[in-house]
Amino acid sequence: MTWARLAPSMAGVILLCSMAAWAGQTSSLGAGIRALAAHPGASLVAGLLLDIVALAQAGNWPSGRWLLDSAVTPTPVSALMHAGFVNAGGLLLAKFSPVLAAGGILPRALLVAVAWISIAIGTGILMIHADYKRQLVASTMAQMGLMLTECAVGAYAVAMVHLLLHGLFKATLFLRSGSAVPRPDEVLVKAEEPSLRFPWSLLAGSALFLLYALPHPADGLRLLSGLLLGAGCAVALTSAMTLRVGRWAGAAAVVLAGALALALRDELIRAWEVLLGTPRPVDEQLAVAAAGLMALQAALYAWLRSRSRGPCSVRVYAWLAYLGDASPHAIEAHPVALETLGEEAILS
């Protein structure tokens, strides 16, 4: 069923390659892409087609049902899908980056808007679902939306490093998902959390954002990165402070790991820019708009959380809970693996 849902995106890839071959009158894909980018009308159509195909391959809205259904697949398969298959959309955009840039602002702005919807949906499902694998699936949807946003603003080196690091840590999280099952003899989270914990974490995240973004206020990509960095720091510190034992050591580890990860990311981005050749200019205005959308999403979810018993919050909660569940046809009523084990047990 997943392959059937991905068939239109595969057909879109074939169509894009055919358009490049038609424009360049050559069998070389690179030359065809450059020739296609030189045709304003064709590049606009190809840019819109790129949006559709990349969103489907990355498991983003409105074609993300196959990704949400992957939560019921065996865990190693989920690890492979979320560390590899979903990267196809970003790789496609990087390959056809001249076409997307030549298509004008419309395809890129549309990609940012739809990717933002995917980020909002993925974040919402992550917040309300208790199932660990569904949380990871929702996280992948949000991460892929962010990666598509990076491609849309022209930060392809950042997007490629994002894909690499996301694949490594998401595969690790899936393969160790069994250890996330709570044990009755091990309690790590306090029953009553301190009321001042979250404001201090929020203050630390805000300070990190200001320290990272203010030195270069005109850099839209740095503004977006700083916003995400500050939000990640706030969430990580919030989680660290819920530990019963070693909360301050956990907070220190969060700060140290964040600094090391930031340094590693910057080095990888510089190395990737060397591999890509001359880096393409980043659309600063579009990056600022994307940062504004991220801030709007955070404010929206904070507002909904503050009114958790309100009718609007209840409707959003129910919709996200329904959306995060796998489709009925994706779940085996009688798993084949269990039937095979039963037959082997009977024969033995």
Rounded-to-10 torsion of CA 81, 120, 263, 269: 60
**What pLDDT, on a 0 to 100 scale, did the predictor assign at position 144?**
92
Range of the structural domain that residue 123 is part of: 2-181+193-327
CA 50 to chain CA centroid, Å, is: 18
**What is the distance between the alpha carbons of residues 336 and 348, in angstroms, rounded to a whole number?**
18
CA atoms within 13 A on the CB side of 2: 20
Does residue 168 surpass a pLDDT of 70? yes
Residue 319 token pair: 């919709």
DSSP 88: H
CA atoms within 13 A on the CB side of 127: 20
Asked whether residue 342 is domain-assigned, the answer is no
Residue 189 phi/psi, 5° resolution? -105, 135
Does residue 245 surpass a pLDDT of 80? no
**What pLDDT, on a 0 to 100 scale, did the predictor assign at position 192?**
44
**What is the distance between the alpha carbons of residues 169 and 241, in angstroms, rounded to a whole number?**
22
Asked whether residue 343 is domain-assigned, the answer is no
Sign of the four-CA dihedral 134, 139, 145, 151: negative
Asked whether residue 344 is domain-assigned, the answer is no
Asked whether residue 297 is domain-assigned, the answer is yes
Per-residue model confidence as pLDDT tens digits over 110-155: 999 999 999 999 998 988 888 888 888 888 999 999 999 989 988 8
**What pLDDT, on a 0 to 100 scale, did the predictor assign at position 113?**
93
User: 10 Å Cβ neighbour count for 198?
Assistant: 14
Point out which residues pair with 189 in neighbouring strands: 243
Mean pLDDT for the stretch of residues 90-97: 87
**What is the distance between the alpha carbons of residues 32 and 9, in angstroms, rounded to a whole number?**
20
**What is the distance between the alpha carbons of residues 340 and 348, in angstroms, rounded to a whole number?**
12
**What is the distance between the alpha carbons of residues 93 and 245, in angstroms, rounded to a whole number?**
45
Mean pLDDT for the stretch of residues 43-55: 88
Mean pLDDT for the stretch of residues 176-192: 60
Asked whether residue 345 is domain-assigned, the answer is no
Provide the number of structural domains found in the chain. 1
- 3-class SS of residue 247: helix
Asked whether residue 348 is domain-assigned, the answer is no
Give the mean pLDDT of the chain.
78
- 3-class SS of residue 243: strand
Mean pLDDT for the stretch of residues 290-313: 85
Do the beta carbons of residue 254 and residue 233 sit within 8 Å?
Answer: yes
pTM of the model: 0.81
Determine whether 298 is exposed, middle or buried from the number of CB atoms within 10 Å of its CB (0-12, 13-18, 19+): middle
Does residue 25 surpass a pLDDT of 60? yes
Asked whether residue 117 is domain-assigned, the answer is yes
Mean pLDDT for the stretch of residues 243-269: 75
